[in-house]
Amino acid sequence: MIAIVDYNTGNLRSVINAVRRAGAEYVVTADRGVIESADRVLLPGVGEASSAMANLRATGLDEVIPRLTVPVLGICIGMQLMCAGSEEGNVRTLGIFPTEVRRFVADHTAGIKVPHMGWNTITELNSPLFRGLDNGAWVYYVHSFAPDLCDCTIAHTEYGRTFSGALGRDNFFGTQFHPEKSGTVGEQIIRNFMTL
C-alpha cells in the first residue's frame, strides 16, 4: 500500500489519478502511524517551500519521513523538501539529499523565463527509477526553484543551468518534474517506483 502524504499542499488529485492508473492500492493521509506502516510513501506537493516545511513540522512528519526505510518518492516541492535547504523562504529542510534548492535567474535574451514551465529532457539517467527509459526522455516541469547537482543526482536537466532533475539516495528518490503529468514516461516512472 502506498501512503500519499497530505500536508496541505496542492496537486494531490493528479498524483492520486496517476497511482490509480498504475493499479496500486493507496491511502491519502497525514497520520504518522499509517505512513510508518506503508510499503511505499509518496510526498507530492505544489507550493512554497517554507510554508510546506512548516506544515510538515506541525504534524511531526519532518521527523518521520527521514527515518523511513521503505521506498519514498518526493515530487516537485516534495523533493525540494528532502534537500538540505531552499532559497524559497530561506528555509532549512529535511536534509536527506545534500544539496541546496536555488531560484532560476531569468535571462530573456537566452529565452530563460521563470517559472520554468513545459516539457524538457532528463539525461544521464542513473537509477532503477528510470528502468526502460531512454536518455533524453521528455518530462513535464512547472517550477521556479531547483536543486543543484550533487552526489545524489540521478538525472540532469538543462534550463539556464544544469540542475538535478531527479535525486536518489538509499531508499529515497525525488523528481523535480511531475511524473503524473509526463505521459507514458511518467507512467513508467510511477510503475518503476512501485517495484523498487
pLDDT in 10s for each residue of the chain, 196 residues: 999 999 988 778 999 999 999 999 999 999 999 999 999 999 998 889 999 999 999 999 999 999 999 999 999 999 999 999 999 999 999 999 999 999 999 999 999 999 999 999 999 999 999 999 999 999 999 999 999 999 999 999 999 999 999 999 999 999 999 999 999 999 999 999 999 9
Give the Cα separation of 16 and 87 in Å (integer): 29
Confidence at residue 75, expressed as pLDDT on a 0 to 100 scale: 97
Give the Cα separation of 153 and 165 in Å (integer): 8
Q: Look at residues 160, 179, 178 and name the one whose alpha carbon lies nearest to residue 112.
A: 160
> Residue 185's domain is classified under what CATH number?
3.40.50.880
User: With the C-alpha atoms ordered 130, 188, 139, 175, is the resulting torsion angle positive or negative?
Assistant: negative
Confidence at residue 148, expressed as pLDDT on a 0 to 100 scale: 98
Confidence at residue 138, expressed as pLDDT on a 0 to 100 scale: 98
Cell of 164: 538535478
pTM (2 d.p.): 0.96
∠ CA 16-19-21, nearest 5°, is 105
Give the Cα separation of 166 and 133 in Å (integer): 14
Domain count, the chain: 1
Confidence at residue 46, expressed as pLDDT on a 0 to 100 scale: 87
Q: Which amino acid is at 13?
A: R
Structural domain for 113, as ranges: 2-194
Q: Which amino acid is at 160?
A: G
Q: At what angle do helices 183-194 and 12-21 cross, to 10 degrees?
A: 70
User: With the C-alpha atoms ordered 158, 155, 45, 170, is the resulting torsion angle positive or negative?
Assistant: negative
| CB 138, CB 181: distance < 8 Å | no
Confidence at residue 8, expressed as pLDDT on a 0 to 100 scale: 87
Catalytic residues: 76, 178, 180
